[in-house]
Amino acid sequence: MQVSDTAPVASAGVALGEPGGNLMVAITATLKRDLTLMLRRRGEMLNPLVFFALVITLFPIGISPDPELLALIAPGLLWVAALLAALLSLDSLFRSDYDDGSLEQLMLAPQPLAALSLAKVAVHWLLTGLPLALMAPVLGIMLALPAGSYLILALSLALGTASLSLIGAIGAALTVGLAKGGVLLSLLVLPLYIPVLIFGTGAVQAAVFGDGVTAHLAILGALLAGALIFAPWAIAASLRISING
Amino acid sequence: MMAFDSFADFLAMGGHAPYVWSSWGITFLLLIVAVLHARFERRQLLTTLRRRVRREQARHQPVASQAPLNTAQGGGNHDPQA
Amino acid sequence: MWAFIHKLGSPKWFYRISAKLQPWFWVAAAGLIVTGSLWGLAFAPADYQQGNSFRILYVHVPAAFLAQSIFVSMAIAGLVYMVWKIKVADMAAAVMAPLGAAMTFISLFSGAVWGVPTWGTWWMWDARLTSMLILLFLYLGVIALRGAFTSRDSASRAASVLAMVGVINIPIIKYSVDWWYTLHQPATFTITSRPAMPTEMWLPLLLMVLGFYSFFIALTLMRTRSEILRRESNKRWVRELVEEGQ
């Protein structure tokens, strides 16, 4: 199925006769294919969300059910738990494509690998980062997060997890060829997540205290823009290393 | 001009002796360990290489059939006959 | 320029030239560090606020400088290796990483110990200490990634990519941690940034910093030479060298 996906892509591009169209067609094809494959494995898709909810459940039990205390630490807890949930799903980002050889097909495609891997990361964010962001307000209620900060929580998570997916994909691409890449992946990726965590929690805390949140969101957006520019090249280079090595 | 009146004063560091001396101690310990490790690594490597050259000379084998060393200590992949 | 780069890239040439350079850097390192230590420990005046505990500065600051410089050097070496396929650059990057991690550890340890007389606690989430801790994790990641590959070529390229990604992120991490710290801990007393240090205080510091850098260069040259012998052990010139040495 994966092989047959790339063939019509190439011919469609030739038929259109313009290289730009060729690339767009290839990206759309990759997007569609990845979405289809991910939606077929709904259980795997739900795992990060269940993990997120479970970790959030552990904190009141481990710390205290006192709403005032929980409200104080809720922004940080929600962000850290969402970050770990996003991390958990990273290992499978390239794993199955690596195992069945379709990653090699992607590399052989005439289109730049950076653009195609960006499409793959976009699907990953759409199916993990975005659901996590949408689910966070519900868990915020459970942690007694003050009203009025829910929208900012979801927004900061949606922006932040996109950066997390991009940065994490570099680590996932570097470790996909390794048998025991899982723990190594967290060691590589978590230090790079820290700026996103700082500004993500900062945004929610600012919303709780009623301060301006635009600065935080703007910085999250800047981080995302930077990641969008640099990460695809690093992901492509890392995939080449993992496959040729 | 010395900042201390006596050697005992110098050692006491105005009551901050444990902090000052433990920081300086761990720093110099690590620097010395780094140098010793580099020397040990070099000697070990030269011994292994020498042994290999001698072994090959004794056997009159062509050079090209040798694989490069690939372990950190260089000692792990000896020929069993050596 | 190109001829020079390619010459430098030849392991044989590098082995010869580094043999000549190495002793100078060892002498400089030993001289500077011994002078700087004696000066800093015994002759520099005590700080009017912190007393003699400020003498930790003379190992904390050089180690912190070097820890950051080594990561940048490692990333540059990685870039050189990726772009020009110069193997010596990767060998240097490989031997730099453990020293960089050791320097990061020294600056963390001395910072924590310094915290006891200054803040009254072993650990404080001070912006500098936090950045250093993250830098330590970045070093450990690069070392672990290099060790995880069985193919040396893949290991080298993966470590190069990670070092480059890390070096792009270091300023972002540093900036965001600084911002985070000022938000949560309105500027109290930072241990290293002080207004106008008198000359008798910063001269020994300068000597120590230069000494640490010389030490880094000397040790890197020495270990890169060993690494060249290890990786090129089947080359004719290495065999001849070993035979001559006997």
Q: Between chain B and chain C, how many beta carbons pairs sit less than 8 Å apart?
A: 110
Contact B14 C225 (CB under 8 A): no
Residue B77 lies in a domain: no
**What are the two backbone dihedrals, phi and then psi, of residue C149, each rounded to the nearest 5 degrees?**
-90, 145
Q: pLDDT category, C185, cuts 50, 70, 90?
A: low
In terms of DSSP H, where are the helices of chain C? 2-9, 11-38, 57-84, 87-119, 127-148, 152-184, 199-231, 236-245
**A with B: touching (≥3 Cβ pairs within 8 Å):** no
Residue B13 lies in a domain: no
Distance (Å) from the C-alpha of residue B35 to the closest C-alpha of chain C? 7
Provide the b/e sequence for A171-202 (b: ≥16 CB within 10 Å): bbbbbbbbeebeebbbbbbbbbbbbbbbbbbb
How many domains would you assign to chain B? 1
Contact residues for C151 (Cβ-Cβ < 8 A; gap 6+): A245
Q: Is C125 on the interface with A (CB under 8 A)?
A: no
Contact C60 B68 (CB under 8 A): no
Residue B62 lies in a domain: no
The pLDDT profile of chain A, 245 residues, written as one tens digit per residue, is 344 444 444 444 444 444 555 888 888 888 888 888 888 888 788 889 999 999 999 999 998 889 889 988 999 999 999 999 999 888 888 888 888 888 888 888 888 889 999 999 999 999 999 999 999 999 999 998 888 889 999 999 999 999 999 999 999 999 998 887 778 999 999 999 999 999 999 999 999 888 888 889 999 999 999 999 999 999 999 999 988 86
Structure confidence by residue, pLDDT tens digits, C199-245: 778 889 999 999 999 999 999 999 999 999 998 888 888 888 887 76
Confirm if C145 and C159 have CB atoms less than 8 A apart: yes
Residue B45 lies in a domain: yes
Residue B34 lies in a domain: yes
Q: Between chain A and chain C, how many beta carbons pairs sit less than 8 Å apart?
A: 79
Q: pLDDT category, B2, cuts 50, 70, 90?
A: confident
**Percent of chain C at pLDDT exceeding 70:** 91
In terms of DSSP H, where are the helices of C39-126? 57-84, 87-119
Residue B46 lies in a domain: yes
Average per-residue pLDDT for chain C: 87
Cα–Cα distance for residue pair C36/A160, rounded to 1 Å: 47
Query: C160: exposed, middle or buried (C-beta count within 10 Å: 0-12, 13-18, 19+)?
Result: buried
Q: What is the pLDDT of residue A21?
A: 58
Q: What is the pLDDT of residue A118?
A: 93
Residue B81 lies in a domain: no
Bridge-partner residues for C47, per DSSP?
C51
Structure confidence by residue, pLDDT tens digits, B50-77: 888 888 888 765 555 555 555 444 443 4
ipTM of the shown complex: 0.86
| C-chain residues near B20 (CB < 8 A) | 41, 52-53, 55-56
Q: Mind spelling out the 3-state secondary structure of chain B?
A: CCCCCCHHHHHHHHHCHHHHHHHHHHHHHHHHHHHHHHHHHHHHHHHHHHHHHHHHHHHCCCHHHCCCCCCCCCCCCCCCCC
Q: What is the pLDDT of residue C44?
A: 83
Structure confidence by residue, pLDDT tens digits, C139-173: 999 999 999 988 888 999 999 999 999 999 999 99
Query: A140: exposed, middle or buried (C-beta count within 10 Å: 0-12, 13-18, 19+)?
Result: buried
Nearest CB to B23 within list C46, C110, C238: C110
Contact C148 A175 (CB under 8 A): yes
Distance (Å) from the C-alpha of residue A10 to the closest C-alpha of chain C? 30
Nearest CB to C51 within list B16, B22, B23: B16
Residue B12 lies in a domain: no
List the chains bordering chain B where 3 or more Cβ pairs fall under 8 Å: C
Bridge-partner residues for C51, per DSSP?
C47
CA angle at residue B77 from B75 to B80, to 5 degrees?
A: 110
| C-chain residues near A178 (CB < 8 A) | 148-149
Domain residues for the domain of B44 are 28-56
**Percent of chain C at pLDDT exceeding 90:** 53
